[in-house]
Amino acid sequence: MLFILTISVLFLFLLVYGGNNTASFYQISKGVVWAVVITFFLILLMVRAIVSINTSRRKDAEEFLSNSEKILRAALNATDNGILVVDNNRQILEANELYFKMWDIPWDKCSTNSEIDNAGLIKKQLMDSDAFGEWVDSVYGTPATGHYITHLMDGRVMDVFSTPLVDEGNIAGRVWSFRDISERKQNEELKSKTDESMKLVRETLEYDKVKTEFFANISHEIKTPLNIIIGILQLFELNLGNKNVELDFDKLTKYTGIMRKNCFRLLRMLNNLIYITEIDSGFIELHLQNNDLVQIINDIILAAGKFIEDKGVQLNVSTDSDSLEIACDGDKIGRVLLNLLSNALKFTGEGGMINVSLSNRDGFAYISVKDTGIGIPDEMKGIIFQRFRQVDKSFTRRCEGSGIGLSLAKSLVEMHNGSIEVKSEYGKGSEFIIKLPIWQMDSDETAAASEQAADERIDRINVEFSDIY
């Protein structure tokens, strides 16, 4: 542009003074000088203007950069985390004050550019220094974000994050973040201990509640038959004291029968208490033999059938086969079956029905005791197998019991590696299902029924059904 300006000035001089050759030459020379001077002056002005603009822009850029660094520094120092930025050679690019403070790094070490030197000071404070060092070495050069929680010897807990520093798609280093979570961990541990304490308190209160209910129930269970026995004894004493009154044999048989029934009732409760205590103490062992489940069920039904039918309840039995041999303790399985029959009879009114069935599938034997009684409410199904728990807790309940029977039955079934479950619809009846694994012992000896065992079953039925009126 300056060259064009200079040519333009010379052209003007030629037009004005071109007529006189001598004068023209002088004038042209003079014009050239002026053109050069004007051009040089213009060049100086333009250079100065350009230098002034660049200087201003440079100052603005330097000021902007300085402000940005101050903002970045303020942001790093304002965070609750210790921040460390390093390159791939583990040279420190940036770090905030909290980083040096939380790791207690001396001021003479703060100026070092090597992260490795600082890492050595940090590892001396850790309880798991070797594991932490291996983790730190493993994250360098990887694009993944790393996380590690380390414990310090002074009791602090540090939460460490490491993320890659990316520059134009390439990993240029790592950004390390350190947060002291000691207080949070302490709060979490305190909360956990508090929750555990509250759980223990709730369990203790529940246990005290169950214990209170149990003692109240046991007191009722003991007091009722004792009152009956004492009342009959007083009646006997009255009759014996009155010499003019003759004892009626039928009445005597009736009263002694009532006394016997209530003695059986007390015996049943005490037997259950002792038995379940022995199970808890590990004193009860299984006497396994290869038993025929069909025969066990038939023997129990034969002994209990008349008693059940005398109460006006129909009893039905069905089995998939004539024989099903498994290794079990026949006495204990019979005890479980008797308990389930007793419960079914308690809650099934006259004209009702009890169905006992046996089936086998998938390597398991299933014994079902199903009744058409009153059923169990849904909210009570979860507690009926708990010790000393009853669906009806009132002292005016229609059926007596200590709340031990089903818990005892469950324990005996589980000793056989089996299970017991209940299906029930309130108002329509209940079904208890025993599941036992089918297997046989190596011995060819099979348990055989005896007259003594049959007599024992009758006595056990009298005891088991003693609280059914």
Q: What does the pLDDT look like over 290-319, one tens digit per residue?
A: 889 999 888 888 878 878 888 888 888 898
Alpha-carbon span 326 to 22, nearest angstrom: 145
Evaluate if residue 101 carries a pLDDT over 70.
Answer: yes
Among 144-158, 248-262, 283-297, 429-443, which stretch is predicted with the lowest mean pLDDT? 248-262
How many secondary structure helices (H) and strands (E) does the chain include?
A: 12, 12
Give yes or no for residue 115 having a pLDDT over 70. yes
> Which residues make Cβ contacts (< 8 Å) with residue 95, sequence separation at least 6?
76, 82, 83, 84, 85, 110
In angstroms, the CA 92 to CA 71 distance is 19
Query: Where is average pLDDT lowest: 10-14, 56-60, 173-177, 370-374?
Result: 10-14
pLDDT value at residue 419: 92
CA neighbours within 13 Å on the CB side: how many for 76?
21
- pLDDT tens digit string along 30-62? 555 666 666 666 677 777 667 666 666 666 556
Query: Which of residues 183 and 327 earns the better pLDDT score?
Result: 327
Give the whole-angstrom CA distance, residue 76 versus residue 90. 19
* Alpha-helical runs (H) found in 282-361: 293-310, 330-346
pLDDT-derived band at 123 (thresholds 50, 70, 90) equals confident
Residue 241's pLDDT band (cuts 50, 70, 90): low
3-state DSSP call for residue 145? coil
pLDDT of residue 450: 44
Say if residue 140 is exposed, middle or buried (CB neighbours under 10 Å; 0-12, 13-18, 19+): middle
Mean pLDDT, residues 141-155 taken together: 86
What is the structure's pLDDT at 188?
A: 79
For residues 369-373, give the mean pLDDT: 90
Percentage of residues of the chain with pLDDT beyond 90: 6
Separation between Cα atoms, residue 34 and residue 465, nearest integer Å: 139
Per cent of the chain over pLDDT 70 is 69
Look at residue 437 in the predicted model and tell me its pLDDT. 92
Longest dimension (CA), the chain: 188
Closest C-alpha among 250, 225, 251, 226 to residue 238: 251
Model confidence, pTM: 0.53
Q: Which residues sit opposite 157 in a β-bridge?
A: 151
- For 64, the 3-state DSSP assignment is helix
pLDDT in the model for residue 257: 77
Per-residue confidence (pLDDT) for residue 54, from 0 to 100: 65
The pLDDT confidence band at residue 445, using thresholds 50, 70 and 90, is low
Q: How confident is the model at residue 452 (pLDDT cuts 50, 70, 90)?
A: very low
Q: How many angstroms separate the CA atoms of 436 and 321, rounded?
A: 16
Instruction: Let me know if 415 is exposed, middle or buried by CB neighbors in 10 A (0-12, 13-18, 19+).
Output: middle
| pLDDT tens sequence across 453-463 | 555 666 666 66
The predicted structure's pLDDT at residue 398:
47
- Give the residue carrying structure tokens 């059914």: 468
| pLDDT recorded at residue 451 | 45
pLDDT at site 436: 92
Nearest CA to 392 out of 402, 261, 268, 269 is that of: 402
The per-residue pLDDT for 397 is: 44
Q: Is the pLDDT of residue 366 over 90?
A: yes
